[in-house]
Structures are given as C-alpha cells and as structure tokens.
Amino acid sequence: MARQTEYIQLSKEEQSSLKTFFRSGNSSNRQQTRARILDLLAKKTTPPEIARLLGCSTMTVYNVKRRFLREGFDAALSERERSGKPPVISGEERARITALACSSAPLGHARWTLRRLADKAVELGFVQTISHAWVKQILKKTL
C-alpha cells in the first residue's frame, strides 16, 4: 500500500506572510521557490506534482517540508550558513606579501616573479608555505 502524503498547515499569519512575500519580489529565486513549495503543500498538492510545477526535484520539496516541520516557517524559507573553509592566510600576511611585491626587486633581478615572491615570503617568515599561484591570487585582489 502506498504511503500517504502528510500535508502541512500554515497559520493565518504565515499565509499572510507568504502573500506579502510573493508580492514584494525582494527575495532570491531560491526563497521564492521555497515559499511556493510551502504554499502548494498547504493547498494539499502532492510533492511530485509540486516538483513538476516548479521545475525542482522532489527531494527539494521534501527537504523544505521537513525543515518547516522541524524548524518552523522562517527556517524553511531561509538558507543555512555555509561552513566553507576558513582563510588560510590572514590579512596581515596578505599585506606583507603585497608590500614585498611593491618593493624593489632583489639584486641581480629586474623584477619580482611570482615564484621568487613566494620563496621570499617563506624565507622572511611571513607564512609557513605558499605557492606562486596563491601569491598571484593575493596580488590579483589587491593590485
């Protein structure tokens, strides 16, 4: 026997929030999609039908529904913070490498190369290790 779909119920306040949300147009496409998913779930539309109507996957519908049931209305509409990798090189270290690149080139050389900058930054103790490609990224963002 097929499993029955559990629908959600929105309070009057949540329904009015959704209407305002749709009219404002100040939100991202992802938030609009989540809001429409909640609206259609409240209108007793099945998740596969919602996925077809909105052009998203059924897992997206189930994820929004599960988040609404566990964490509430606001959490279902918004995105969680993404962890990401913390910066490896601090701002002070970036500034030192940039200052080094702006200084005069070492004796016997006409200019700084990326590899020479990376080697000198390690030699001077600015950083433990750094590649020439990373030096390029630092300089690209500052110069």
Using one digit for the tens of pLDDT, what is the confidence trace for 22-80? 888 777 888 999 999 999 999 999 999 999 999 999 999 999 999 999 999 899 988 88
Q: Are 89 and 69 in contact (CB under 8 A)?
A: no
**Stretch (H or E) spanning 40:** helix 29-42
Which 3 state secondary structure label does DSSP give 83? Answer: coil
Rounded Cα distance between 139 and 143, Å, is 6
Q: Are 89 and 134 in contact (CB under 8 A)?
A: yes
Q: What is the pLDDT of residue 28?
A: 83
Rounded Cα distance between 134 and 42, Å, is 50
Instruction: Calculate helix-pair angle for 58-71, 29-42, nearest 10 degrees.
Output: 80
The torsion of the CA quartet 48, 72, 7, 40, rounded to 10 degrees, works out to: -50
Q: What is the pLDDT of residue 2?
A: 55
Q: What is the pLDDT of residue 1?
A: 47
Which 3 state secondary structure label does DSSP give 22? Answer: helix
Quick one: pLDDT band at residue 3, thresholds 50, 70, 90?
A: low
Is a pLDDT exceeding 90 seen at residue 8?
no
Q: What is the pLDDT of residue 26?
A: 79
Quick one: pLDDT band at residue 20, thresholds 50, 70, 90?
A: confident
CATH 1.10.10 is held by the domain 12-77: yes
Mean pLDDT for 82-97 is 85
Contacts of residue 99, Cβ cutoff 8 Å, sequence gap at least 6 = none
